[in-house]
Amino acid sequence: MINFQTAPNDYKHWKLDIAGSVATLSMDVQEDETLAEGYKLKLNSYDLGVDIELADAIQRIRFEHPEVAVVVITSLKPRIFCAGANIYMLGSSSHAFKVNFCKFTNETRCAIEDDSRHSGRRYLAALNGTASGGGYELAIACDEIYLVDDGNSAVSLPEVPLLGVLPGTGGLTRLVDKRKVRRDRADVFSTLAEGLKGKRAKDWGLIDNHFPTSKFDESIKSRVQQLASRQSASGPGIKLNPIQEYRYVKLDLHRDQRYADLTVRGPEGVQPTTVDQILELGDAYWPLQAYRELDDVLLNLRVNEPEIGLVCLRTSGSVESVLQIDEVLVANRDHWLVHEIILNMARVLRRLDLTAKSFFAIVEPGSCFAGNLLELLLAADRSYMLMDSDASIAVSEMNAGALPMSNGLTRLQSRFLAEPDKLDEVFDAKKSFDTEEAEELGLITFAPDDLDWEDEIRVAIEERTSLSPDALTGMEASLRFAGPETMDTKIYGRLTAWQNWIFQRPNAVGPEGALTNYGKPTQAHFDYKRT
């Protein structure tokens, strides 16, 4: 059972230091502190445990240290920044774990880019040594990359020539989409196991600059001061306490039937209406606590419940209370904390979009699929709403752009690509819709009456869980992101398709595959037929 909860005092592999407007995240991986047996985390290579800490640190900087303007990511190991994902860990892991590991690590890197894009915090990778594979992918997620020029240190993406696989966290896509490296140069770089050093790495756009060892620390410090001076401070921050038990999220597992019921409870009692009240409540404020709990549930479902193929999304509570929360969020969205809360909600919902499970939304009397919680229904692969006068769903301004998908569209925009005028109908008509109105507008998939309700839900669950999970994963990933492509959708689409495929091919993981034979006296042998 992998636990995604951690805190700085419990970190084994990272050190987080805050000095005014500058945070330094130093990688110092303890090679024996692994999540499983059979490998050592040498040369700052990482497993999922290392990245869980990194994800936590980024989240804490955003909420606990809003005064931070620049984050420096570096290493405490001499002459090595990061060797990337531990190869022996990958070689000994199940296929499902490999893919979920890659997905989580990429979501962490997307969180860095999200912070930079939306909160203005700058991330600087200070590569005091070689950055290979996932180590360079971590660097390329930052805004700027600086490499020590000591005659040995290089950046590289050696997965294709050494392991017969691909960089697993978006390295190839970020290379050409984000850093805009020329395709021919990217081709050479990605097939050169030893990578590139100082001058050529800069000339090709792989790094922003390189400094000799004697001037490296001084040059990094100077650049950090330049970046920090451009940012204005926010704060004070709030503390993110450990999630001891779920208050707003309930997960009921039906393992024998391979599905789960996931219920999110809406806010209860009097809720804050001012920023001061929100600050006083801190991480117990419903939009922050409920979505942190939902995030934890989604991660646990991914990694710890691989045979749960279908999740039935339910809500309980007052539609009006959820809409009131949204009104307060929208009215105060320029305040740094409310801004970060909304961004966190959006990230959690994107985590749901990217989860390889089927999702059905179930709307009954007592549900509160309204405003931000309506996004759960819109994110679902299909929805069922009881034809009952007491069942309703509702929209708010939060559905109009605050919680975008990875493709940059809202879920309503993605839903109505063929009928964009429907958006005006949805937002102009009224806030709340009963079952007939929701069906007429196209907001739900099916509207069974009370005579057919139980049987229709039961049959739908049985049918879905009887289908091939591989085919469903491919189908859902293809259908969920209609509309324009972004760097994120490219990364996750290719991760779902290419990495899923390559991680199962004999050339990578067969008895004579490159990943299987890495570090052994035996040599990889490939089936050279192209498919």
pLDDT for res 161:
94
- Each residue of 404-439: pLDDT tens digit? 999 999 999 999 999 999 999 999 877 899 999 999
pLDDT in tens, 496-513: 788 778 888 999 989 999
pLDDT at 503: 86
CA distance 245 to 229: 41
The string of pLDDT tens digits covering residues 126-159 is 999 999 999 999 999 999 999 999 999 999 999 9
Q: What is the pLDDT of residue 531?
A: 78
| Greatest pairwise CA separation for the chain in angstroms | 78
Q: What angle do CA 42, 48, 51 make, to 5 degrees?
A: 90
Spatial distance between the Cα atoms of 159 and 168, rounded to a whole number of angstroms: 9
Which stretch of 257-261, 368-372, 501-505 has the lowest confidence by average pLDDT? Answer: 501-505
pLDDT digits (tens, 9 = 90+) for 266-298: 999 999 999 999 999 999 999 999 999 999 999
pLDDT at residue 233 above 90?
no
Q: Using CA atoms, how far apart are residues 223 and 22, in angstroms rounded to an integer?
A: 12
Do the Cβ atoms of 510 and 516 come closer than 8 Å? yes
Residue 169 is predicted with a pLDDT of 86
Condensed to tens digits (0 to 9), the pLDDT of residues 301-359 reads 999 999 999 999 999 999 999 999 999 999 999 999 999 999 999 999 999 999 999 99
- Mean pLDDT, residues 60-88 taken together: 96
Say yes or no to pLDDT of 231 above 80: no
- Please give the C-alpha separations between residue 451 and each of 163, 315, 382, 448, 507, in angstroms, as whole numbers: 57, 22, 20, 8, 54
Q: Which domains does the chain have, with CATH numbers?
A: 12-228 (3.90.226.10), 249-472 (3.90.226.10)
Question: Which residue is associated with the tokens 């860095």?
Answer: 112
pLDDT 10s digits, 440-459: 999 999 999 999 999 999 99
Could you give the 3-state DSSP secondary structure of residue 204? coil
261: which strand partners?
252, 312
pLDDT value for 499? 77
**Contacts (Cβ under 8 Å, ≥6 apart) of 176:** 183, 186
From the number of C-beta atoms within 10 Å of its C-beta (0-12, 13-18, 19+), residue 494 rates as middle
Res. 230 pLDDT band, cuts 50 70 90: confident
Name the pTM for this structure.
Answer: 0.96
Q: What is the pLDDT of residue 153?
A: 97
Q: CA-to-CA distance for 135 and 115, rounded, in angstroms?
A: 19
Q: In this predicted structure, what is the pLDDT of residue 367?
A: 97
Measured CA angle at 140 (ends 136, 145), to 5 deg:
90
Q: Give, rounded to a whole angstrom, the gap between the first and last alpha carbons of the chain.
A: 37
